[in-house]
Amino acid sequence: MKYVLWLLKAAIFFTLFAFALNNQQDATVHFFFGTQWTTSLVLVVLAAFTLGVAVGVLGMVPHWWRHRSAARGHHGGAAAPAPAAAAPEPSTPLPPHGI
């Protein structure tokens, strides 16, 4: 499985590398008030992709905050009722989780 993932990553890398090599011609992006940016086409595509990812992440931030605050509210809520018969304490201490 490790080799399949490695091959998939290599295939994606070489596909993007070939895309970059095939799009080296100059491209001009015209902004407002007569400003323009002339660079290679692959940089324009990379900048547009990066801007799209940033806008998507910023659009999701309010949803993440609401979800996080709702989860925090459930965690600090009222205590659960005690069980009728409590389980006996183990005689040997348990190891800590996650270590």
| Domain membership flag for residue 58 | yes
Q: How far apart are CA 59 and CA 81, in angstroms?
A: 40
Instruction: List the beta bridge partners of residue 39.
Output: 27
| Domain membership flag for residue 43 | yes
| Domain membership flag for residue 59 | yes
Query: What pLDDT, in 10s, does the model give residues 47-62?
Result: 898 999 999 999 998 8
What value does the mean pLDDT take over residues 62-77? 79
Residue among 25, 63, 61 at smallest CA distance from 43 = 25
Q: How many residues does the chain have?
A: 99
| Domain membership flag for residue 48 | yes
Please indicate whether residue 96 or residue 42 has the higher confidence score (pLDDT): 42
Q: How far apart are CA 28 and CA 44, in angstroms?
A: 9
Domain range for 35 is 24-63
pTM value > 0.75 = no
What value does the mean pLDDT take over residues 59-82? 76
Contact 37, 47 (CB under 8 A): no
Query: What pLDDT, in 10s, does the model give residues 3-50?
Result: 889 999 999 989 988 888 887 888 888 889 989 989 888 888 888 989
| Domain membership flag for residue 38 | yes
Give how many domains the chain has, as a whole number: 1
